[in-house]
Amino acid sequence: MDDFDVDADVPTDRGRDVQETLETQAPANEPEIWAMAMAFLTNMQVTRPELLRAVPARWVLARAWSILGSASYVAGLYEASVPVTQIQEFWSHSWQGSPWKKALTLLVAKNGLASLVGSTLLTMLFAGLFALGWLPGYAKDLTQEDGDFLNSVWCLAVGAVSSCILALLWRPPGLVFLDRVCIDQSTRTAKCEGVLNIGAFLKNSITMVVIWDPTYVKRLWCVFELAAYLKSHEDERKGKLVVLPSLLGPCSVAFALGCCSFMAVLLIVEFASPIAGVAVLVLLGTAGFYLAAAQFREIYRDLDSMQAQMKEFEVDKAESFCCSCNHLNSKGQNILCDRELVKACIISWFGTIESFEEAVRSKVLPAMSAHLRHPFSYLSLVGVLSPLMWGTADAVAAQLRNGNEQFAAYYAINGLMWWLFGMPCLYVGWNMLVFRCRRKRAALWKDVLTNLAIMPAIAVLLCLQYGVGYVFAILTRNRVQGVCIYTAVMAVLTLVIFCRRR
């Protein structure tokens, strides 16, 4: 295998010879057919330069639900792709996975940052307009100390609405490879040539994005794509593997909804006393995290399933469409066995099937487990927790409008503390509890009860953090100084926690 030259020149006219032979020779086990197919798959060279294609990410996202839901041929898809010299991202996924979950996850991954930045700028604009008295407000006791004055919910409302609109309408830059769009499937001949070039497509891809779900490691071609990418980039630092669990999108939405409900309660509900306010806030605000608990428990169950599958991974047990249909297409014509072709390529790249299976267990499994064990990075958390900042902008604007500069400073610093440090730390503790409670219960009502039981943990951690902050305020006898010290402490704690997670 060490003597194998992956950069060996492959005559461009041989591509047509190979796929024409595959079309005219019916038996799937003819040695000359395998030799020709292997020459292209293992060399990872395109048969023709114009076959290396990509499609704008924005085009795929606009149609993600339908495009990711079926592998069947649809006229016009191939024309959306364009020839390229290098693929920025190769999107790999299982066709058996839920299309709406995959679509939502890609939407969050590609449009999340633009949505956050755009909506935040709008909230700052509305905060300024309200503080200047150019927008109407409503009267409510924020606390006993503050008295009646005009309050705002403009920032939270505008942030929530604009983030959804931007997430749906933003057009992200970049070109990506998606097999259904970038491989011509109008004829058997064209599709066959595209399949022969899959190794070349992966070699010429900078990043491989795996949209993972429990069916991914069961599919032969999914594992093959992963193996081809790892093999073609094993000596390159520029290769990058990104694993996105398909539940990441639903979890992000659930967290954002939880934060919105949390801040809505804080801004709208009239508190008779600080204690009553905290109680109402805890009971109602944390209710929005129920969906997040359910989704995260499912992610961790899927992770357990993946680890079990990959620890016992065998190429012969991976599922393949050709074997499931007895190597006959819908017209009754013989088709090549993907399994045998993939096994031949793996032997060429890794020496033996056993070596590849061991590489999957020793290298691929730890890498994917690390991604899935911590679905949210710190920056991802800051993004989904952005409603905390929008609500804070409302509170600050209300204080400025009513001439309370000291309270405005306090709310601004306190809000930033909770957004950047307090809630991310709370998430880590909550996440540990969710992980321990991930097991699926036998009865539906028990599973629902488990999700509900996790919610008080948020309340306990929230009250604990709130209490510590209150102690700092008492010790310093100054709200602003106290919250500044508490913010510094929480910043150090957050740094330690998230550095240890790496």
| Final residue before a domain boundary, out of 351, 372, 403 | 403
- Domain of 312 in residue numbering reads as 14-403
Query: Which pLDDT band holds residue 389 (cuts at 50, 70, 90)?
Result: very high
Rounded to a whole number of angstroms, the CA Rg of the chain reads: 27
- The answer to whether residue 121 is domain-embedded is yes
| Final residue before a domain boundary, out of 365, 380, 403 | 403
Among the listed residues 172, 193, 173, 169, the one whose alpha carbon sits nearest the alpha carbon of residue 182? 193
Check pLDDT > 70 for residue 15.
Answer: no
- The answer to whether residue 163 is domain-embedded is yes
- The answer to whether residue 8 is domain-embedded is no
Q: Do both 113 and 244 map to the same domain?
A: yes
Residue 168, pLDDT score:
92
Quick: pLDDT tens for 448-468: 888 888 877 777 777 788 888
Q: Do both 347 and 492 map to the same domain?
A: no
- Tally: H helices and E strands in the chain: 23, 8
| Final residue before a domain boundary, out of 403, 426, 445 | 403
Check pLDDT > 50 for residue 50.
Answer: yes
Q: Residue 430 corresponds to which tokens in the numbers above?
A: 């909550």
Q: Do both 111 and 158 map to the same domain?
A: yes
Q: Residue 305 corresponds to which tokens in the numbers above?
A: 């399933």
Q: Do both 317 and 431 map to the same domain?
A: no
Quick: pLDDT tens for 330-344: 666 666 666 777 777
- The segment with the largest mean pLDDT, out of 156-165, 259-268, 292-301, 443-452, is 156-165
- The answer to whether residue 3 is domain-embedded is no
Q: Which residues contact 44 (CB under 8 A, 6 or more apart)?
A: 6, 199, 200, 202, 203, 228, 232
Total domain count, the chain: 2
Which residues in 49-156 belong to E strands, given as ranges?
53-56, 82-83, 87-93, 138-141, 148-151
Q: Residue 18 corresponds to which tokens in the numbers above?
A: 């190979």
Residue 32, pLDDT score:
57
Q: Indicate yes or no: pTM above 0.75.
A: yes
Q: Do both 373 and 420 map to the same domain?
A: no
Check pLDDT > 60 for residue 10.
Answer: no
User: Could you give the CA distance from residue 455 to residue 283 in angstroms, rounded to a whole number?
Assistant: 9
Quick: pLDDT tens for 16-40: 444 444 444 444 444 555 566 666 6
Q: Do both 270 and 418 map to the same domain?
A: no
Q: Do both 432 and 354 map to the same domain?
A: no
Q: Is 53 helix (H, G, I), strand (E, B) or coil?
A: strand
Q: Do both 374 and 468 map to the same domain?
A: no
Provide the CB-side half-sphere exposure for 264 (13 A, CA): 16
Q: Residue 252 corresponds to which tokens in the numbers above?
A: 């992000």
Check pLDDT > 80 for residue 5.
Answer: no
Q: Do both 44 and 123 map to the same domain?
A: yes
- The answer to whether residue 1 is domain-embedded is no
Are 110 and 197 in contact by the 8 Å Cβ rule? The answer is: no
Residue 167, pLDDT score:
93
Q: Do both 381 and 450 map to the same domain?
A: no
Query: Which pLDDT band holds residue 2 (cuts at 50, 70, 90)?
Result: very low
- The answer to whether residue 291 is domain-embedded is yes
Q: Which residues contact 66 (CB under 8 A, 6 or more apart)?
A: 99
Among the listed residues 170, 11, 28, 21, the one whose alpha carbon sits nearest the alpha carbon of residue 106? 170
Q: Do both 71 and 213 map to the same domain?
A: yes
Q: Do both 177 and 47 map to the same domain?
A: yes
Residue 402, pLDDT score:
87
Q: Which of 264-268, 281-285, 439-443 has the lowest mean pLDDT?
A: 281-285
- The answer to whether residue 9 is domain-embedded is no
Check pLDDT > 90 for residue 412.
Answer: yes
- The answer to whether residue 366 is domain-embedded is yes
Quick: pLDDT tens for 269-308: 776 666 666 666 666 555 667 777 887 888 888 888 878 8
Q: Is 229 helix (H, G, I), strand (E, B) or coil?
A: helix
**Which element (helix H / strand E) includes 326?**
none
Query: Which pLDDT band holds residue 345 (cuts at 50, 70, 90)?
Result: confident
Average pLDDT of the segment spanning 65-70: 82
Check pLDDT > 50 for residue 185.
Answer: yes
User: Could you give the CA distance from residue 188 to residue 73 in angstroms, rounded to a whole number?
Assistant: 11
